[in-house]
Structure 1
Amino acid sequence: MNLDKIIQPFTKEFPGDLSYNTYQRQTPGVLFSLVNPVTFENPELIIFNEKLSEEIGLGKTESDHDIAFLHSNYIPPQIKTYATAYAGHQFGNWAGQLGDGRAIYAGEIINEKGQKTEIQWKGAGATPYSRNADGRAVLRSTVREYLMSEAMHFLNVPTSRGLSMSFTGENVVRDIMYSGNPKPEMGAVMIRTAESFLRFGHFELVSARKEYDLLKKLADFTIKYYFPEITSEGKEKYAEFFNEVSKRTAEMIVGWSRVGFTHGVMNTDNMSVLGLTIDYGPFSMIDEYDLNFTPNTTDLPGRRYAFGQQGKIAQWNLWQLANALFPLIEDSQPLQKTLDEFSNYFWLKHDEMLCKKFGFDDLKESDEDFFNDWQRMMQELKVDYTLFFTKLEYLDKCESSKELFGDIFYKDLNENDYKQLDDFIKKYRTRLSANEISREESLDLMQKSNPKFTLRNYLLFECIDELNNGKKDLLNKIVNALQNPYVEKYPEFSVKRPAKYDDTPGCSMLSCSS
């Protein structure tokens, strides 16, 4: 690996705390604090994403220093590792200063194409922003983030990515369900990458502290490096920036909906200004279609971050970002205009996405009623979301709805249920007949929009269990499957969640504990 290519423009451009002090504290006036990652006595590499490493410009592992770097046990001499400060609204409430509690930046790589990639360890020890926590990560959460971020990438949903994952050789104590029963778990550390990990919360922090010169500097930095399409000047530049963030956010949430992803912790500090999926905690792909599904026990009973609420919450989070950016614009009208347009833009993109999933050539006025009927049928019959669209591609080859869809329900259907299904399929056939494209073109749209493989929580649960017992077979199989999610490479993965996992912690719902 060419570790000499790691650079640090962020630390050069912004004020920081240069003390290397991990004592957890408030850090007014700075955006980062220098901090060294911990070292581990007996780390062991679990997986290294060689293809990603070459794409971002690091290359292959060639030395002991390379492997030690992945474990956080070696720091190249030209870099100073750091954590950033940010704030946020958590479950709708202002939480004040937060920051990188388990993430430590190595810096940035620029590849031969001029593309920038930030690199950071997660689980490599405490920072000034750890809020009385230890900065470690357990194997369970590390495997989940590494695999799901890679799965989302190959599903064509904007996301951070996993570069490596290692056992740390130490145990970490966590209370997985917040039930008062903490237990030791295997520790792990990963390196994750993204074009940038800048969040809504970075802007919220400096704006709340009324550090407006720093707010302007942060906004100018972000626009310069990540929004080159913005060419306006003055206050208009920041309004245009907010509008672009809003669009990227809407498109990301539509991507989540397309593949059935539920984030679980859509706090503003977990929202990327680049429209990337970041901070994989208690997430889940939905099994049965349920707009009220939340994968996070901490989100009960309100279900603020439920699958069907993600667009609404994205808009609420954008309100908070608008408030943070207001001092740069000093005019609420352009901000309000973007916020008012968010809902229409989101639902237009959402319905266009559903058209492709169903193989429709274009969005028609009557499709809103069709989609509402579909949602009602899916919820009432407890239909598996991914498998429904997989089966739908074979509609022309099977005359009986009961025969075609019979094994993808999470309830026992009666005759009235099957009649509801038949009635919907009749509506679908009628809508298909209005297409102005061939059936082959329609199927092509469906096959490009509907994954055959999604990384379900029960598969992650089984993979983690195997790794805890020293086995990597399922890990390797999942990595292979997620790289081609629109092809049914492993039919054994294209099944609904086994009933034995219905109430197993970690298979349907999780806590924020990691």
Structure 2
Amino acid sequence: MNIEHIKHPFTEYFPGDFSKNPMQRNTPKVLFSTIDPIGFDHPKLIHFNSNLAAEIGLGQYDQNDINFLVGNHLPENIQPYATAYAGHQFGNWAGQLGDGRAIFAGEISSHSGKATEIQWKGAGATPYSRHADGRAVLRSSLREYLMSEAMFHLGVPTTRALSLSLTGEDVIRDVMYNGNPQAEKGAIVVRTAESFLRFGHFELLSAQNEYKTLEKLTEYVIERYFPEITSVGVQKYKDFFENISKRTADLMVEWYRVGFVHGVMNTDNMSIVGLTIDYGPYSMMEEYDLNFTPNTTDIPEKRYAFGKQGQTSQWNLWQLANALHPLIKDEKFLEDSLNAFGTYFWEAHDNMLCKKFGFDQLLEEDEEFFTNWQGLMQELQMDYTLFFNVLETFNEEKDLKSQFQKVSYGILDDKSLTKIENFLSIYKIRLDKNKISRNSSILLMRENNPKFILRNYLLYQCIEELNNGQSEVFYELLHALQKPYEEIIPKFSGKRPIKYDNIPGCSMLSCSS
């Protein structure tokens, strides 16, 4: 790989701590701390993302690159560091946080000039590890590696994964936080992004009254990641906030389109450039439920449930608005902007649903249609992805029950089938109001409804196999996720088997996941 061109513009631009002390501590008035990865004696590469490597300008892998991929024996041009940020976690102010198990290698530019940040996840403790060891396990590393790539191919803004490696050591984790820690295989993911900056970076500086550095960070981010902003003075910061709000709303709509539930939408897990970051206790929606949360830590409040993700992102933007207030100093503007978020989000959300149903435009009556559809989905425990697949191919001449039973987690009795028939009648009437042909309508559905999603039970299977030294499912999933709008591997396109219900680490996940 071509790593000699890795640079460190962030550490050259902002105040930092260069002591390389990995001990947990507060680091006031700095945005980063230099730190060395701990290194591993017996690493083993599981997979290298050669397509991504070529895209970002790293070139192809050779056997000596394993050292870089796990943070061993780094060349002199690389100065690793971890950043400090703050945040609200489950609605409560958590104070200083930071990259607890993520360490930046730096930034590289591709031939097109586009810059990409590169970091290790699981390479050891940093000052922000909060008494943890900074390591990662195969279970969580594989989940991030595969899911971030799945989201990319689904067309959802996301961080991406460059490599997945075993560290050759065991790591102790209590997967369900229930007092049963066990040894698991250690692993490292190298992940990439346009930027890993979060709402929490701005919250930290504002909370510390470091307004000059806050302004410097804001200017830095606007210049690098928001070229569309050409205004000056305070208006520049207002445009910045409105751009972030729009990107965040657009991201939430994409999550709803594919059925992604993040599980832990703390402000420190919100990207300042509108990416999906920090894949922990996430899940793809299976049986439709607006109150579904995959995170055991989020029960019983269900703050981060599927149906609350738009609302939660708006709340998080309120916290960002508070952090940027020292620069903007206009409460009415911020309040109006945040209120406008709801209007923009719901219009974008409903237009997205139109495409999933094959409607060419949003009509006033569609709000009632969508509400009734949601009620039907939840009552009959319909699989979110499979429902739209059946709707696209529905054949009136075939048995209704046989077509919809394969997408329902419940039993479809005569009463349930009547409700489906009534819905289909209303749907047909609504389709007749399209100004496009049925073929064009179906094409719209195919472009917006995936055939393959990375279900938790599939990830569970994959983790179990890899832990036993087998990789068949891993490579099958890797192949299928690259073309999610096609049915590449039919066996992955069905409902979750009953045997995977209520299994820790499969249907139930914790922040350790």
> TM class by shorter-chain length?
over 0.9
Aligned ranges 1:61-140 → 2 under 5 Å: 61-62=61-62, 64=64, 66-140=65-139
**Whole-Å Cα distance in 2 between the matches of residues 247 and 507 of structure 1?**
33
Structure 2: how far apart are the matches of 1:109 and 1:443?
A: 41
Identity of aligned residues (%): 62
Return the letter of the residue paired with 1:138.
V
Q: Distance in 1 between matches of 2:417 and 2:73?
A: 61
**Residues 385-432 of structure 1, C-alpha deviation per residue, up to 9 Å, x if partnerless?**
110011111124645432321211111122111111111111101100
Q: 2: CA distance between counterparts of 1:5 and 1:260?
A: 38
User: Would the aligned equivalents of 2:173 and 2:184 in 1 still touch at CA under 8 Å?
Assistant: yes
The residue aligned with 1:449 is: 448
Q: What number of residue pairs does the alignment pair up? A: 513
* Preserved CA contact (<8 Å) 1:146 1:165: yes
Q: In structure 2, what is the Cα distance between the partners aligned to 1:86 and 1:195?
A: 18
Deviation per residue, 1:234-261 (Å, 9 max, x gap): 1111111000000000000100000000
CA distance in 2 between counterparts of 1:498 and 1:233 reads 57
Instruction: Give the corresponding residue for 2:38.
Output: 38
Q: SS of the counterpart of 2:98?
A: coil
Name the structure 1 match of 2:23.
Answer: 23
Verify the 8 A CA contact 2:43 2:66 in the aligned structure 1. no
Secondary structure at the counterpart of residue 152 of structure 1: helix
In the TM superposition, what are the counterparts of 1:388-427 in structure 2 within 5 Å? 388-396=387-395, 398-427=397-426
Distance across 2 between alignment mates of 1:438 and 1:403: 27
Write the distance in 1 (CA, Å) between the matches of 2:402 and 2:298.
38
Deviation string 1:79-113 (CA, Å, 9 cap, x unpaired) is: 21000000000000000000000000000011111
Distance of 1:484 and 1:434 partners within structure 2: 31
Matched, 1:360 2:359: yes
1:7 aligns with 2:7: yes
Asked whether the equivalents of residues 405 and 411 of structure 2 are also in contact (C-alpha less than 8 Å), the reply is: no
Aligned partner of 2:6: which letter? I
Conservation of the 8 A alpha-carbon contact between 1:45 and 1:71: no
Aligned to 1:347: 346
1:486 maps onto 2:485 in alignment: yes
Is 1:58 the counterpart of 2:58? The answer is yes
The amino acid of 1:262's aligned partner reads V
Quick one: distance in 1 between partners of 2:403 and 2:427?
A: 15
Distance 1:372 1:53 in 2: 44
Partner of 1:300: 299
C-alpha distance in 2 between matches for 1:25 and 1:427 = 61
Report the equivalent of 1:371: 370
| 1:88/1:268 contact within 8 Å kept | yes
1:320 partnered with 2:329:
no
Gaps of 5+ in 1: none
Letter of the 2:296 counterpart:
T
1:86 alignment partner, SS class = strand
Contact 1:168 1:188 in 2 (8 A): yes
CA distance in 2, matches of 1:406, 1:39: 52
Structure 1 equivalent of residue 149 of structure 2 = 150
For 1:281 and 1:266, how far apart are their aligned partners in 2? 10
Amino acid at match of 1:20: K
Q: In the aligned structure 1, how far is the partner of 2:469 from the partner of 2:385? A: 31
Match of 2:276 in 1: 277
Query: Partner of 1:98: helix, strand, or coil?
Result: strand
Residue of structure 1 equivalent to 2:507: 508
1:335 aligns to 2:334 (yes or no)? yes
Question: TM-score, normalised on structure 1?
Answer: 0.99
Residues 1:397 and 1:49: Cα distance change in structure 2 (over 3 Å): farther
User: What is the rounded CA distance, in whole Å, between the counterparts of 1:220 and 1:398 in structure 2?
Assistant: 61
Of 411-420 and 448-457, more deviation after overlay is shown by 411-420
Q: Is the 8 A contact 1:199 1:271 kept in 2?
A: yes
Q: Is the 8 A contact 2:6 2:107 kept in 1?
A: yes
Residue 222 of structure 2 is aligned to residue 223 of structure 1 = yes
Closer/same/farther in 2, CA of residues 231 and 426 from structure 1, 3 Å limit: same
What is the one-letter code of the residue matched to 1:152?
M
* Whole-angstrom CA distance in 2 between matches of 1:21 and 1:326: 33
Structure 2 runs not aligned, ≥5 long: none
Pairwise CA distance, 1:506 = 1.6
Q: For 1:348 and 1:398, locate their aligned partners in 2 and report how far apart those are by CA, in whole Å.
A: 36
Contact 1:6 1:79 in 2 (8 A): yes
2:151 corresponds to which letter in structure 1? M
Name the CA distance, whole Å, in 2 between partners of 1:211 and 1:233: 21
C-alpha distance in structure 2 between counterparts of 1:356 and 1:513, whole Å: 36
User: Any idea what the Cα deviations from partners look like across 1:302-345, whole Å, max 9, x if unmatched?
Assistant: 00000000000000000000000000011112211210101110
Question: CA separation in 1, counterparts of 2:366 and 2:23?
Answer: 56
CA distance, structure 2, for counterparts of residue 149 and residue 266 of structure 1: 16
Q: Is the 8 A contact 1:104 1:122 kept in 2?
A: yes
Contact preservation (8 Å) 2:392, 2:445 = yes
Distance 2:461 2:100 in 1: 28
In structure 1, the residue corresponding to 2:166 is in which secondary structure?
Answer: strand
Contact 2:44 2:66 in 1 (8 A): no
Could you tell me the TM-score, scaled by structure 2's length? 0.99
Match runs of 1:219-298 below 5 Å: 219-298=218-297
Amino acid at match of 1:170: E
Distance 1:398 1:25 in 2: 68
Counterpart of 1:461 in structure 2 is 460
Would you say the 8 A contact 1:294–1:509 is kept in 2?
A: no
Q: How far 1:74 moved relative to its partner? A: 2.9
8 A Cα contact 2:296 2:509, kept in partner: yes
Question: Are residues 409 and 63 of structure 1, via their aligned partners in 2, closer, same or farther at CA, if it must alter by over 3 Å?
Answer: closer
SS in 2 for 1:230: coil
Contact 1:398 1:404 in 2 (8 A): no
What SS class does the counterpart of residue 393 from structure 1 fall into? helix
Deviation at 1:63, TM superposition (A): 5.1
Amino acid at match of 1:38: I
Give the whole-Å Cα distance in 2 for the aligned partners of 1:362 and 1:398.
28
Could you tell me which amino acid in structure 2 is paired with residue 442 of structure 1? S
How far the C-alpha of 1:62 sits from its partner, in A, is 3.1
SS in 2 for 1:107: strand
Checking the alignment, whether the CA contact within 8 Å between 1:31 and 1:86 is kept in structure 2 is yes
Q: Distance in 2 between matches of 1:301 and 1:505?
A: 17
Q: Distance in 2 between matches of 1:325 and 1:447?
A: 41
One-letter amino acid of the counterpart of residue 250, structure 1: A
Q: What secondary structure does 2:171 align onto?
A: strand
Following TM superposition, the consecutive aligned residue runs of length 4 or more in structure 1 with deviations greater than 2 angstroms are 396-401
User: Is the contact between residue 384 and residue 408 of structure 1 (CA under 8 Å) also seen in structure 2?
Assistant: yes
Q: SS at the partner of 2:119?
A: strand
> Are the counterparts in 2 of residues 7 and 107 from structure 1 also a CA contact under 8 Å?
yes
